[in-house]
Amino acid sequence: MITREKRRAERGQWKAVLYAFLFPLLLCACGETGTRFHLEGKFKNINQGEFYLCDFDNGTKDTISLRDGRFTYDKDMPDTVVLTLIFPNFSELPIIATPGGNIKMEGDVSHLKETEITGTEENELLTGFRLQTKEMMPPAVKQKAEEFILKHPASPVSLYLLRRYFIMAVDADYARIAKLSETMLKAKPNSIPLIQLHKRLKATSNLKSSGKLPKFRATDTNGKTVSDSLLRKKANVIMVWASWSFDSQQMLHQLNRWKSEHHDSIGVISICMDADACEGRKALENDSIKWPDVCDGKMWDSPLVSTLGISFIPENIVIDKSGNIVGRHLSAADLKDKVDKLLRQK
């Protein structure tokens, strides 16, 4: 006959076993919530589709599926990063992703600038900036962006605004960009994204829009060696792109069309900033692009990127037949004008 004391002892043993089993799981779960980032969204006027969520700093791209106008996204996020949600029409919405952040997004695809992103102070600041400037002309938005950066130099929102309205501008003012980035770095000296950006900007300032193209050697995605010696046609272009950058892919398409029209008169080497070379290779094959493409997966830490002083996506460097740099960071229209001018030269 089992005594009451024996039953109590057995229950105690089972509790001890159960606790020993669950305790590590609880610790693990607690660790995940510390860095786990959660995003959920709801949009009107769209029922289903696929979006891209891109981390431009690290060159990563995740696909998000929308069902019944809703989506969720969970990922371990050890550091604060700026993610960009890219819609099927290539409209973009930035999101500040923080370790342990729980973000909600709600809007209408026909009025994306009015989308509300809540859950953290940084995202609410960014939403406030977007709503404040939605009716402004570009120069006024740029001025507001500078005012925000000077007021909040340590905010990750400022890093996004610096990239969006200054670095990616066709008429990029490098002196102004350097001054703003120095202010931000002073406010947050241990920020890895700011340190990396400052390093890239310094490299860019050392390579002007003129002078000789630096000598380089690299391996393309087909395993072949490419070098600056391939760029000795009448007109030559180094094109920097990524599978998650619509603007850069548009430039690739235009460049491919010009090269098809002029055949061997145009030399092209492209540099893909994707973390995975397969993504870029697939995109080029889909567009029947056959020139050498370099993708070492190192993104901003790539030796070739450093040698050429590349800081932007999209980016381009135009070289004449003598190896002289005659233009860089040109808009699509200016790039065409520059290439046409070189083709007309004897």
Encode pLDDT of 30-48 as tens digits: 434 578 999 999 999 988 8
Tokens found for residue 33: 């919530």
Tokens of 16: 């001890």
Cβ contacts of residue 344 below 8 Å, gap of 6+?
none
Q: 110 φ, ψ to 5°?
A: -85, -5
**pLDDT on residue 26:** 38
Average pLDDT, the chain: 84
Residue range(s) occupied by CATH 3.40.30.10 in the chain:
217-344
Q: How far apart are CA 141 and CA 91, in angstroms?
A: 17
14: confidence class by pLDDT, cuts 50, 70, 90: very low
For residue 163, what are its two tokens? 């990239």
Q: Is the pTM of this model over 0.75?
A: no
Per-residue pLDDT tens over the stretch 169-223 = 767 787 888 899 999 999 999 888 888 777 777 766 655 556 789 999 999 998 9
* Cβ neighbours for 173, distance < 8 A, ≥ 6 positions apart: 166
Rg over alpha carbons for the chain, rounded to the nearest Å, is: 25
CATH node for 217-344: 3.40.30.10
